[in-house]
A and B are shown apart, each in its own frame.
Chain A
């Protein structure tokens, strides 16, 4: 059982992801590919190994996902444009300082075209709405420097209507609170400078109660622990400045126990299959609670803090102080 973060293993794991071209599973997840590239890149940044993947190749891949008809990005070449993949594309290009490759006005038009009268965003022209897409829209506009084009009141009013009896948020009006949706709503409120809309005490309480006896965090009451909630819950707590309402030592132990010491990578819980999604959220969670040797992550955008600060987008969130390496 590993008691430290096996950085080299995880870096190799991420580097090897593109080598799986013989795996059926690899091809059957093409609908997530651009998102996966963002997860891998951000994980590398947190581990201070950004250069482990080739910059030019990655930028070329991002641009190959451009859907000319829609003016935005799909998740894979020839896949339809979607708001989620578009956000991932923007995030990758910004991290690689290549935003100039983007047709910003067209992308802004695409994003705004998905904003609904109710204040939520749709994911694409077929109209599925979800607070996840609200976050994608708000974050994307903010990263592109066009947040002023958004009707903020309209957007905030939707989030307000999603607030539940437990202080949390669901994926649409009336939906049950779920930690991932809490992250997207609180993150969006932070970007829009409207955090006073949230009930900090009640929500902080609900979030703190996500920690289970084994140290892991779950996504809602009576559910199992899962490493990805290390990010969704932790980032929300960080934004509310209540990170110390959970026990970070026990959480740290839990995340480290979900590593695969042979192949590298982190899984949802110990002894399950690893994937790049959980690898990112595991290391991002560790970064927020001050694990030594990691780079700072911005919990609002889930991108390197230095990148966000340079853009003047840093909000008033608080992470735990980084501990010195042993």
Chain B
């Protein structure tokens, strides 16, 4: 992915091949040596060092990661004290940190880190010692490392997944509210961080369920945050998708709170007046107005519903022109609205 196409002359290609010939010979020799040792179940230190060398050159060679782990499990760990095992694992954690700085998206490297953490023995100290001590130290370091990686690339999903893994696996857990604050920090740095909004959508319900946050109050604050984000950058899809979800969560079953829907519709309408032709405003109005009519028909009455439906169809027609790539979806939504209304009338 992402490598520029460079047209090289025959001469240049030949020169490149000559330079690589030596490297290639070395690489193949190293690869053959490692694989033949592996076939013989050679768990020596020499073999371990060869895997270190290879993984530095090619961290995607998954069979060599496997061999390395097998050497640890079969020959190294059985002969070492817990302290020594922990030291060995810490060295591999350092090795993978260096590898990740160069290759932040290679699954095999992230994997090996997890394996190291899971292998960490109890300690330090025997009886009366701190059984979580080494693990807590390593896990805290993990959070630090993954935080740094997210500072470099806030959308690296490997890093976010790893972060979630660390948070659930730490022997002594960090409170969810801290992670909630972390997502707030990331979102305030950039509203366009879908990964941070996504993380928020996972933490938020946990905070409600455990009553750490007061449902009504926090919901209102959340709506304010989201509306603020919408007004700041109406073209950012993350916020609109999150808003749609947030509206959905406030009902026991979708659409229960008519007043909330009306209020949000009003806020978006006002934004649309300032940002004429905002696709996201229009798309969201279509969604919420449809929801309002479907769930609160009786309370709204015929006239109001008819007005909402007509406005929705008008918006859909405008969207077909504004966002022609997705023209058919808007047509389908329009047809669905008409069919739904016919069905409703039919059923009385």
Contacts and interface: CB of A to CB of B under 8 A. Distances in A.
Contacts of B208: none
Contacts of B1: 226, 268, 272
A176 B325 contact: no
A205 B107 CA distance: 29
Interface string B192-211: 10110011011000000000
A271 B4 contact: yes
A100 to B, nearest CB: 28
A223 B1 CA distance: 13
A170 B157 contact: yes
A31, A176, A206, A226: most-surrounded residue (chain B CB, <10 A)? A176
A78 interface: yes
Contact of B61 (A23, A31, A170, A221): A31
Contacts of A245: 326, 328-329, 332
B261 interface: no
Contacts of B3: 272-273
Interface residues of A, number: 55
Contacts of B144: none
A165 B198 contact: yes
A175 B17 contact: no
Interface in A62-92: 74, 78-80, 82
B178 to A, nearest CB: 16
Interface in A117-170: 124, 126, 128, 130, 164-166, 170
B60 interface: yes
A269 B201 CA distance: 32
Given A166-B241, A209-B237, A245-B328, A273 B5 contact: yes
Given A126-B69, A206-B241, A31 B326 contact: no
A22 interface: yes
Nearest to B248: A165
Given A172-B161, A174-B164, A247-B327, A24 B24 contact: yes
A324 B115 CA distance: 54
Given A176-B199, A222-B192, 8 more contacts: A30-B31, A126-B69, A126-B111, A166-B198, A176-B160, A209-B237, A222-B238, A247-B326
Interface of A: 22-24, 27-31, 74, 78-80, 82, 124, 126, 128, 130, 164-166, 170-172, 174-178, 204-206, 208-209, 211, 213, 215, 220-223, 226, 242, 244-247, 250, 260, 262, 267-268, 271-274
